[in-house]
Structure 1
Amino acid sequence: MPTVHVFARDHINTDEIIPARHLTTDVEAELAKFAMEDYDKTFVRRVKPGDIIVAGADFGCGSSREHAVWALRGAGVSAVIAPNFARIYYRNSINNGFLALECDGIVEAFEDGDSAELDLQGGTVTNTRTGQALTFVPVPQFALDVQKAGGWLEYMKEQDAADLEAETLQAHSTEAGHSHPGQDSAQQEKQHA
């Protein structure tokens, strides 16, 4: 069972998640060494793979940097659960295949060091010490697919490029006003040869 690390304050910003002085790399393992350093210097020594951060509202506000997601994921954090997130942090989380779960009352339901059971399909997080279960905002299937793939780029690599291309070339917008379906450059070259 994952351990919960509670950062109860609202408005924890990206500079606190990963201080700007450490933004000299995009390697998660390097960034992980400094995760939450300016908020809690002992965090990286305590966190284990699969652990969860419970945080106050507006988590990830401030600068738009993917490094904040990378540092936590690199440290082994599997999810951050907060009442809400700064929108850019939330989007960076989805794009990087990292779980950012919105759940009212989460800070009050956990103490630092509690264990949690996270049920993504059921949409619940349970404090195993108290038995209290909370429902979080459902994660869209698209975000789960991106998370399963390991991030947006990996997700796109898994998609069938031919199907995506065919769908684009046959889209209504490529046919409109031209009285012929879209063609790729190889087909055009054959016609003009």
Structure 2
Amino acid sequence: MENARGNCIKYGDNVDTDVIIPARYLAIQDRSLLATHAMEDIDKDFHKKMKKGDILIAGKNFGCGSSREHAPQVLKDSGVSCIIAESFARIFFRNAINIGLAIVESPDAAKEIKEGDEVEVDFSAGRIRDISSGKSYDMAVFPPFLQDMIDKGGLIAFVNERLEKK
């Protein structure tokens, strides 16, 4: 799995799926257009600040609320390369993996990394390095099959590739 490297945009605790992508936009079929509305109810400048490859930092229970897959998908479509949080809502966690969005639980990193810091996440080594502050943090390493699933773009692509090999 390739390392993620980018600047950080930071949010607090309990950011729910209705904030990540407000329900009023869910009828939009164009994913790039839908992504322009990500996080707008708590950060009107999110789409302007977000650059491809940037990293979201969040507090506890990120992605709580409904089980809609739109939430991690719009973040991925916005250019988010990874989300580091103190903790994730269980369904958001699974949906993110299913669509190939890298997510990492690291309470210390989530608390200490500041908005705008440049961060590199080494998924294979289980290390988060805050380039701006010089600090490093440990994280759990995904098993190889999950790293492969994320690399392939999610569960469907992962399964399709395995079926093609048979």
- Asked whether the 8 Å contact 2:120–2:129 carries over to 1, the reply is yes
**Bigger CA drift: 136-145 or 9-18?**
136-145
Higher relative contact order (CA 8 A, sep 6+): 2
For the aligned residue pairs, the C-alpha RMSD in angstroms reads: 1.3
Specify the SS of the correspondent of 2:107: coil
CA, structure 1 residues 88+45, in 2 after alignment: closer, same or farther (shift >3 Å)? same
Gaps of 5+ in 1: 164-193
How far apart are residue 28 of structure 1 and its match?
A: 2.5
> What is the letter of the counterpart of residue 150 of structure 2?
Q
> What is the letter of the counterpart of residue 54 of structure 1?
I
Specify the SS of the correspondent of 1:5: strand
Gaps of 5+ in 2: none
How far apart are residue 108 of structure 1 and its match?
A: 2.5
Q: Which has the higher strand share?
A: 2
Aligned partner of 2:73 in structure 1 is: 70
- Asked whether the 8 Å contact 2:93–2:103 carries over to 1, the reply is yes
How far apart are residue 70 of structure 1 and its match?
A: 1.1
- Asked whether the 8 Å contact 2:60–2:88 carries over to 1, the reply is yes
For the residues of structure 2 that align with 1:81 and 1:92, how far apart are their CA atoms? 15
- Are 1:87 and 2:93 matched, yes or no? no
CA, structure 1 residues 143+26, in 2 after alignment: closer, same or farther (shift >3 Å)? farther
Match of 2:57 among 51, 54, 58: 54
Deviations 1:101-155 (A, max 9, x none): 1112123221111100111111111111111001112222222111111111111
- TM-score w.r.t. length of structure 1: 0.80
Match of 2:10 among 6, 9, 26: 6
Structure 1 runs of 4+ with >6 Å offset = none
How far apart are residue 5 of structure 1 and its match?
A: 0.6
Q: How many residues were matched structurally?
A: 162
